[in-house]
Amino acid sequence: MWQLYQFPLCPFSRKLRLLLSEKGVGYELWRESPWEGRDAFLNMNPAGRTPVLRDEDKDITLVDSRAICEYFEETVEKNPMISGSAASRAEIRRLVALFDENFYGDVTGPLLHERMKKRLVYRQSPDSKNLREAMKLAHEHLYYIDYLIDQRPWLAGATISLADLAAAAQISVADYLGGLDWSGHDQARSWYSVIKSRPSFRPLLAERMEVIQPPTHYGDVDG
Ligand SMILES: N[C@@H](CCC(=O)N[C@@H](CS)C(=O)NCC(=O)O)C(=O)O
């Protein structure tokens, strides 16, 4: 059985969990707080980041959400998430990179730092200027999703793909941390509400990070 080392608000672990669930791959959750720098964790991933996926019986350790997602895409045929022509696959990978890097760097990373790490690790108050900036940038990203959904049913094209899972994973964490104002983003909101109602998403919405509570609309699959 795969063991997934993660914490509930890690967006990269969320993306992987969505993929594993869509593909029907079983796993156990192992709680890891990467900022604690546990030796056994650093032995598995010297970069000290979640997610890490380990199969003890097979003695396989997989590291980095993109490498792990590609591993399952290559080894499990069910529900392909990087499919179509070479151009379509390149478009999926472009959007995965956009959400993993830009959305995380602009929005999820700063929100996690201000609202989670400062509270749990550094015992500091959040900086309201940094929070305002992250929320402003979140609007720009939601406008881009509105634009994509105006042209296509899913972010990268006609079918659901890893791009949708990557985006929804980042958005779900930003939403949990109260960083998203959905007003004026009807297309993004309707796309997200379809993703949220998939069975793969339910366990994520039910989970809570200690001390930090999400806004009331967070788990609402119609909102
Ligand atoms: N490129 C990596 C990024 C992983 C990453 O940045 N994980 C964060 C948590 S969301 C982390 O472990 N940060 C280290 C820390 O908080 O100390 C991936 O896709 O797996």
Residues with CB under 6 A from ligand 1: 10-12, 34-35, 48-51, 64-66, 100
Number of neighbouring beta carbons within 10 Å of residue 15: 27
Nearest by Cα to 134 from 97, 169, 102: 102
Q: Is 194 exposed, middle or buried (0-12, 13-18, 19+ CB in 10 A)?
A: middle
Tokens of 142: 């939601």
Average confidence score pLDDT of the chain: 97
Q: Render pLDDT for 168-201 as a digit per residue (tens, 0 to 9).
A: 999 999 999 999 999 999 999 999 999 999 999 9
What domains can be seen in the chain, in order of their start residue?
A: 2-75 (3.40.30.10), 86-199 (1.20.1050.10)
What is the rounded CA–CA span in Å between residue 204 and residue 69? 18
**Residue found by looking up tokens 């379509």 in the block:** 88
| Each residue's pLDDT tens digit, 35-84 | 999 999 999 999 999 999 999 999 999 999 999 999 999 999 999 999 99
Taking CA atoms only, the protein residue closest to ligand 1 atom 10 is 10
- Tens of pLDDT, residue by residue over 73-116, are 999 999 999 999 999 999 999 999 999 999 999 999 999 999 99
Are the C-beta atoms of 181 and 135 separated by less than 8 Å?
A: yes
